[in-house]
């Protein structure tokens, strides 16, 4: 199956009332673990690469790993997404490379740290939407900023999304999906205590969904930071500064109110690190680099399978035939924003 447009994945998820996990990748083992999990659970999936990942792996290497994934798992719908594009140029380069979805993070300036004002956000996001939709590519925008910094992205400050402003933003830009700030953070350290309504404002999601029922909501910083993974890393000699993550129950509540894309990065990193550290601890004589690679891949697979079940995406891989980018471009040109 070819790489598919994220718009179709999210439209189908909306029709089926489930969420789709978007897992960050940097190397072959991560991609294999994610795709093994998708195959075993029969889940559609979004694989996403940050600018840091593209720099680390190299654009051509990363893209051809994804093509290999699509060829190896022909029954799994998979979208390749640019995470946190910091400029129109970054997003355009991803589209030209073959990504089927891009995020223009106009909530921050090009340095990916300084908050950008609303009008500037609208302008850069609209520029990307116009370019992408002509080619059938999905666009995610962001309004508001998350706490924390991960992979060089983040202002370190939380600015919650204003639902009324979100309505204007979507109308003026035409984005397919909107990342919102409700109190979550990038990185392993998210909350110092179990998050409740004082630190995680789920009502923002519910209000935005009432106003924008056809726009897919995205939850960033949605790793749950499982305590058992943190303890495994520490028990194997690692150091992790981690607090409480986003409860699965909060993500599931979001899915009930329009959340269709759920970004998960830290959980995968923890799972892979725990597996590799345990191998180094338990098999000090194993100097074959394939050993930690296999362990990392298995750790990634297990956490992905768990999240795929919890988000309700398991069992939906065969629900529909993939739409080509050309067909989606024709729909955009005709004024039809949906793929179903």
Q: Pseudo-torsion of CA 136, 50, 317, 251, nearest 10°?
A: -110
Q: Which helix (H) or strand (E) holds 21?
A: strand 20-24
Contact 139, 125 (CB under 8 A): yes
* Residues in CB range of 14: below 8 A, 6 or more apart: 216, 258, 260
Q: What is the largest CA-CA distance in the chain?
A: 62
DSSP 259: E
Reported as half-sphere exposure (CB side, CA atoms, 13 A), residue 223 has a value of: 28
Active-site residue 282, yes or no? no
Contact 65, 28 (CB under 8 A): yes
Catalytic residue among 36, 83, 151, 207: 83
DSSP 287: -
Residue 188, classified by CB atoms within 10 Å of its CB into exposed (0-12), middle (13-18) or buried (19+), is buried
Residue 298 main-chain phi, psi, to 5 deg: -65, -40
Sort strands 78-85 and 259-264 into parallel, antiparallel or unpaired.
Answer: unpaired
| Rounded distance between C-alpha atoms, residue 238 and residue 221, angstroms | 22
Residue 139, classified by CB atoms within 10 Å of its CB into exposed (0-12), middle (13-18) or buried (19+), is buried
DSSP 241: -
Residues marked active site are found at 83
């Amino acid at each position: 199956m070819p790489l598919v447009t994220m718009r179709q994945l999210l439209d189908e998820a909306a029709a089926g009332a489930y969420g789709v996990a978007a897992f960050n990748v940097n190397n072959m083992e991560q991609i294999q673990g994610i795709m093994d999990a998708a195959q075993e659970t029969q889940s559609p999936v979004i694989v996403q690469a940050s600018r840091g990942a593209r720099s680390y792996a190299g654009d051509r290497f990363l893209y051809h790993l994804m093509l290999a994934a699509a060829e190896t798992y022909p029954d799994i719908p998979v979208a390749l997404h640019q995470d946190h594009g910091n400029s129109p140029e970054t997003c355009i380069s991803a589209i030209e490379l073959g990504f089927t979805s891009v995020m223009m993070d106009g909530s921050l300036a090009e340095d990916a740290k300084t908050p950008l004002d609303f009008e500037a956000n609208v302008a850069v996001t609209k520029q990307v939407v116009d370019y992408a939709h002509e080619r059938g590519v999905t666009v995610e925008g962001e309004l508001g900023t998350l706490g924390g910094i991960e992979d060089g992205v983040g202002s370190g400050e939380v600015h919650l999304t204003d639902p009324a402003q979100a309505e204007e933003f979507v109308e003026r830009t035409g984005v397919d999906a909107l990342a919102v700030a409700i109190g979550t953070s990038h990185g392993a350290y998210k909350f110092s205590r179990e998050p409740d309504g004082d630190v995680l404002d789920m009502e923002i999601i519910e209000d935005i969904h009432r106003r924008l029922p056809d726009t897919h909501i995205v939850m960033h910083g949605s790793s749950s930071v499982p305590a058992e993974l943190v303890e495994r890393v520490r028990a194997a000699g690692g150091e992790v500064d981690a607090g409480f993550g986003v409860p699965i129950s909060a993500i599931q509540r979001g899915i009930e109110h329009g959340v269709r894309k759920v970004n998960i990065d830290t959980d995968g990193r923890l799972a892979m690190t725990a597996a590799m550290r345990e191998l180094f601890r338990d098999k000090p004589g194993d100097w074959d680099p394939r050993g930690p690679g296999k362990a990392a891949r298995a750790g990634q697979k297990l956490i992905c399978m768990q999240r795929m079940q919890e988000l309700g995406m398991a069992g939906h891989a065969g629900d529909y035939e993939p739409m080509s980018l050309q067909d989606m471009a024709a729909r955009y040109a005709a004024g039809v924003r949906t793929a179903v």
